[in-house]
Amino acid sequence: MTTISTPTIELKAYTKKELVGDQPTWCPGCGDFSILATYFKLLEKRQIPREKIISIAGIGCSSRFPYFVNAYGVHFVHGRAAAFATGVSLTRPDLHVCVFSGDGDAYSIGGNHLTHAARKNIKMTLVVMDNQVYGLTKKQTSPTSPIGFKSKTDLTGSVDHPINPMKQLIAAGATFIARSHSHMPNHVADVMDQAIGHDGFSVVEVLSECTEFFPGAFDGANPRKGGAFTLVPKEHDVTDEAGAYKLAMADFPGYFGVFLKVNRPTKNALEAGLINDAKSKIGTAVPLEMLQKSFDRFA
Ligand X SMILES: Cc1ncc(C[n+]2csc(CCOP(=O)(O)OP(=O)(O)O)c2C)c(N)n1
By CB under 6 A, name the binding residues for ligand X: 59-62, 78, 102-105, 129, 131, 133-137, 142
Q: What is the CA radius of gyration of the chain?
A: 21
Do 118 and 172 touch, CB atoms closer than 8 A? yes
Nearest approach, Cβ of 206 to ligand X (angstroms)? 11
Beta carbon nearer to ligand SF4, 214 or 259: 214
Nearest approach, Cβ of 66 to ligand X (angstroms)? 13
Do 54 and 72 touch, CB atoms closer than 8 A? yes
Query: In this structure, how many other beta carbons lie within 10 angstroms of the beta carbon of residue 79?
Result: 23
Q: Where are the beta strands (DSSP E) in 197-268?
A: 201-207, 230-231, 255-261
Do 252 and 221 touch, CB atoms closer than 8 A? yes
Beta carbon nearer to ligand X, 181 or 261: 181
Beta carbon nearer to ligand SF4, 115 or 211: 211
| Residue 27 lies near ligand SF4 (rule: CB under 6 A) | yes
Residues 20, 184: Cα–Cα separation, whole Å: 22
Q: Which range, of 69-77, 86-94, 129-137, 159-167, touches ligand SF4 by CB under 6 A?
A: 129-137
129 forms bridges with which residues in the sheet?
A: 102, 206
| Residue 131 lies near ligand SF4 (rule: CB under 6 A) | yes
Give the count of residues interacting with ligand SF4 (CB under 6 A).
12
Nearest approach, Cβ of 106 to ligand X (angstroms)? 7
Stretch (H or E) spanning 171:
helix 165-172
Residues 207, 109: Cα–Cα separation, whole Å: 19
Residue type, 256: F
Pick from ligand SF4, Mg ion, ligand X, none: which does 100 bind, CB < 5 to 8 A by kind? none
| Residue 135 lies near ligand SF4 (rule: CB under 6 A) | yes
Do 132 and 103 touch, CB atoms closer than 8 A? yes
Instruction: Single out the residue of 35, 55, 103, 175 in contact with Mg ion (rule: CB under 5 A).
Output: 103
Half-sphere exposure of 89 (CA within 13 A, CB side): 29
Residues 151, 216: Cα–Cα separation, whole Å: 15
Query: Site map for Mg ion, 120-149, x if CB under 5 A?
Result: -----------x------------------
Nearest approach, Cβ of 35 to Mg ion (angstroms)? 13
SS3 content of the chain, % helix, strand, coil (to 5): 40, 15, 45
Beta carbon nearer to ligand X, 136 or 166: 136
Query: Site map for ligand SF4, 185-224, x if CB under 6 A?
Result: -------------------------xxxx-----------
Nearest approach, Cβ of 27 to ligand SF4 (angstroms)? 3
Q: Which range, of 8-16, 23-31, 148-156, 193-201, touches ligand SF4 by CB under 6 A?
A: 23-31
Residues 23, 196: Cα–Cα separation, whole Å: 25
Chain residues binding Mg ion by CB under 5 A are 102-103, 131
Judged by the rule CB under 6 A, the positions of this chain that interact with ligand SF4 are: 26-27, 30, 32, 61, 131, 135-136, 210-213
